[in-house]
Amino acid sequence: MMTRGERLDWLDAAKGLGIILVVIGHAWTKGQMRDTIYAFHMPLFFLLAGYTARPKPMAQYLSAQLRSMAIPYVAFLLTLAAIDPLIEHARGYLPMFRTWEAAGRALLLGGSELSGPLTIFWFIPCLLVARIMQNALLLLWPDVRDWRWFVAMAAALWFGIWIGARTDFSPLGLLSVPVALVFLWLGAVWRVTPLQGCMAFLAAIAVFFWVLGEPVPPINMKAGDYGDPLFALPLAVLMSLALVWVAKAIPWRPLVILGQMSMVIMYCHVAVIHYGRPYFSTLTLAVLGVGIPVLVHILLARWRWSARIFLGK
């Protein structure tokens, strides 16, 4: 039986591996490596979040999510938006927002309205809303193997694919919530499934042999683009399980630490890559995209007020 500490270690190691792949996927803008990463890098985080889900009283849950996710989201969003004109003017470029009206609209709507250094900011509100919905359903149906879960998730999957094929407008990342909710549920099902370690190992073997012979189709959850969803979404789950198997096999302490810092890396890495693109090689950008956010996390953790506002402590 795996202890709680051991479970959290491999979960954090999987997040650490995942966030490195997220950074690489944004540093490299094209190519098979980038497409392979885009096939599963965001579904991985939803699956891991679903794995840890437990039903909690809604008021208590909302309070915890406000502290740990909503406040840091706003803090990082406003901070990066505020420093953008300073950096861009210093570089001789126009800022991201040219008018106060444009800034206000984009920052309030978020999601698809944010690009450049803020392009990743669809993920956190999407995850937040999907987790709240999952908790509400867990309070109704505590057993994720209940047939009502299967019906509800089939409906969510159908709607997510249907609406994603018709629009890419996604305020606060809401366009991706239905499919994200399905990934959260699959993560919860995975936790209560016997022989889950064997499943992850078999997924790793299957993905390895498949990748040898076929190009991997990318998906873009932010835009609701799931490619051929009947093929791409199951593949995303298999590839995520394969990465988890690697994390369990190699629970390297630096990966665990990176996993614990993954949200700060998620918030900051695109800005590092965006502003550094004209001056550094792609490999250097990937290294800086991990290293600079790690330093930011260490700095923010030094003071109680910054840890509370930016890290959700």
Residue-wise DSSP of 60-85: HHHHHHIIIIIHHHHHHHHHHHHHHH
214-256 tens-digit pLDDT: 677 889 999 999 999 988 898 899 889 888 888 888 768 999 9
- How many domains is the chain built from? 1
Rounded Cα distance, 44 and 233, in Å: 11
**Confidence band for 80, pLDDT divided at 50, 70 and 90:** very high
H or E segment to which residue 207 belongs: helix 196-213
Backbone angles phi, psi at 220, to 5 degrees: -130, 90
What pLDDT is recorded for position 252? 83
Helix, coil or strand: residue 194 = coil
Is pLDDT of 153 > 90?
Answer: yes
Burial of 47 (0-12, 13-18, 19+ CB in 10 A): buried
Average pLDDT over residues 136-147: 97
Lowest mean pLDDT among 9-18, 117-126, 237-246, 299-308: 237-246
Is pLDDT of 19 > 90?
Answer: yes
Q: pTM of the predicted model, to two decimals?
A: 0.93
What pLDDT is recorded for position 6? 46
Is pLDDT of 5 > 60?
Answer: no
Place of tokens 């008021």: 59
Structural domain boundaries, residue 32: 4-310
